[in-house]
Amino acid sequence: MFFDRHRATLDAALAAIDSRGYWSAYPEAPSGKIYGETANEDAKKAFEAQIGQPFALDQSANGTVGAERSPYGFDLKIAYPRLDADPAIANALAARASLRKAGARMRVGVCLEILARLNRMSFEIAYAVMHTTGQGFVMAFQAGGPHAQDRGLEAVATAWREMMRVPAHARWEKPQGKNPALVMEKDYRIVPKGIGLAIGCATFPTWNTYPAIFANLATGNPTLVKPHPAAVLPLAITVRVARDVLKEAGLDPDAVQLVADSLYAPVAQLLARRPEVALIDYTGGPEFGAWLSANAGHATIFAEKAGTNAVVVDGTDDAKGMFQNLAFSLCLYSGQMCTTPQNIFVPASGVKTPDGPLSPESFGQKLGEAIDRLLGDPARAAEVLGAIQSHATLARIEAASRNGKVVHASAAAKHPVFADAELRTPLVMAADVGEGTLYAHEMFGPISFIVTAPDRDAALEAAFGTIARKGAITASVYSTDPAFLEKAAERAADVGVALSENLTGGVFVNQSAAFSDYHATGCNPAANASLTDAGFVAPRFHVAQVRRAAKAAVA
């Protein structure tokens, strides 16, 4: 039923992941014409009504938990059901058989219906994402809503494609010379790996978690959704929708459960250690990522951790476009993206431009000016920057600014509506390529470095060498020399990082488009998996076959 309703969407998604051209199932414009003229106002009211209230979720619970604070300066005071590890695992195990027996078609139909409903709720998701992550409203709408839904759909389509490679049945006839052939009839059943645990992050609770949730559900793995304590609401809404659709499909809603916790009584480690948990998806800091590797090796782990995203600047024929583009990349959501550039490597001899070379100092000055221009209008600045999600990031900006040479100082900014929001403009520091202790580790947030290397080749080597050791999700290069661009592309492939060349227009290195861009590669320390390639989906299911002898056909 659900499958037939959404078949056209699935087919288009399958075509898109093969061609990898532009496609999107869910409109990204936060427009009343698309989502309903009252959608925004209704969602805003729903969000405000939720503040201070228990979150209604029909699942097992003992007690409540919840201590979210909007980065825009107020407490959400929402009480979520608390679920202990033991009942969470028991419920998931109990849901496993019905989810398996439902079959790929039914499960994929359920996934598509969940995504369609989430899409209609994009304004509601937007407010939830905005007031947990600190993203500006438009970004919260797009990245938290349609773009996250597209990534979820991409995972579903990839799962469907991989599952459809397995035939339901085969007849195996092995010739035996003059004797009758050996004949076996074989049935192949798709079986899930086990229980999935999807651990969300505080900055992109939906975008980084939907691929795991939907890949798991499509392939039959009951999933525990463990949000970051600071960003529960977007995933709680998601789980509620998922459980509604599961129930309507006659399946056990415990195939998707919310396991909210607190900083004081965290549950992720308890769950990750359980042998029943076979799949762990994690986005977050490298410390917990390392803990998972050391302590949850029984499970298949898909982790996106930290990195030192790099830009190498040899030269450009559009200096203005380059600075505008870089400035926007540094400002967007105050650099709180896993794709934001951190280290900008420039040659000491200067960056080539049509107006002559720019020294590292001039380069820094022009970048600072571009930032200031972009943030000149306070309303626009607030929307681009969003709010700082965590106190740790505020402290990190402070500390970094005292450690070396400041190129562009970070300043507090005012939000036009939320007086208590913590807004910061980007900090840009200068470093020499030898000062790896300053720049060669992740400094999450609006902190970047202009790193001077002796020449462009040294800049390239420093950039990709750092990536090989510390990881990166993105790299970018500016050059008018095809040989240098090709060299950068080869080095990017060597260290396994996605590369953007000469971005000067309306596409930014931070952006990763579903169905087209592979997000992270799984080949450098920043991540061990990629959204959402076959390696992300195929290990989540296997095949249990049944075979029996059959009579050979009479010749």
Please state the closest distance from residue 315 (CB atom) to its own copies, in A.
15
Residues 6+ apart with CB under 8 A from 483: none
- Classify burial at 27, counting beta carbons within 10 Å of its beta carbon; exposed 0-12, middle 13-18, buried 19 or more: middle
Residue with tokens 């919310």: 258
Measured between alpha carbons, how far is 500 from 479 in angstroms, rounded to an integer? 11
Query: Phi-psi region for residue 284, left (φ > 0), alpha (ψ -120 to 50) or beta?
Result: left
Measured between alpha carbons, how far is 184 from 546 in angstroms, rounded to an integer? 10
178/548 with CB nearer its own copies: 548
91/502 with CB nearer its own copies: 502
Measured between alpha carbons, how far is 226 from 91 in angstroms, rounded to an integer? 15
Q: What are phi and psi of 262, to 5 degrees?
A: -125, 165
Please state the closest distance from residue 172 (CB atom) to its own copies, in A.
5
**Which two three-digit tokens encode residue 98?**
């019905």
238/510 with CB nearer its own copies: 510
43/255 with CB nearer its own copies: 255
Please state the closest distance from residue 18 (CB atom) to its own copies, in A.
7
107/415 with CB nearer its own copies: 107
Nearest to 7 by CA among 101, 116, 99: 116
Measured between alpha carbons, how far is 156 from 116 in angstroms, rounded to an integer? 13
Measured between alpha carbons, how far is 395 from 334 in angstroms, rounded to an integer? 14
413/552 with CB nearer its own copies: 552
Buried b (16+ CB within 10 A) or exposed e, 171-188: eeeeeeeeeeeeeeeeee
188/418 with CB nearer its own copies: 188
63/167 with CB nearer its own copies: 167
Please state the closest distance from residue 470 (CB atom) to its own copies, in A.
12
Residues 6+ apart with CB under 8 A from 457: none
Residue 421: C-alpha distances to residues 2, 9, 248, 380, 412 (Å): 42, 39, 41, 15, 10
76/526 with CB nearer its own copies: 526
343, containing H or E segment:
strand 343-347
425/466 with CB nearer its own copies: 466
**Which two three-digit tokens encode residue 152?**
């979820």
Q: How many CA atoms lie within 13 A of 464 on its CB side?
A: 21
Please state the closest distance from residue 255 (CB atom) to its own copies, in A.
15
Please state the closest distance from residue 14 (CB atom) to its own copies, in A.
11
Residue with tokens 């991409």: 154
DSSP 332: G
52/175 with CB nearer its own copies: 175
Please state the closest distance from residue 293 (CB atom) to its own copies, in A.
3
Please state the closest distance from residue 476 (CB atom) to its own copies, in A.
9
Residue 234, Cβ neighbours under 10 Å: how many?
A: 30
Measured between alpha carbons, how far is 360 from 383 in angstroms, rounded to an integer? 30
Please state the closest distance from residue 20 (CB atom) to its own copies, in A.
4
Handedness of CA 397, 401, 406, 412 (dihedral sign): positive
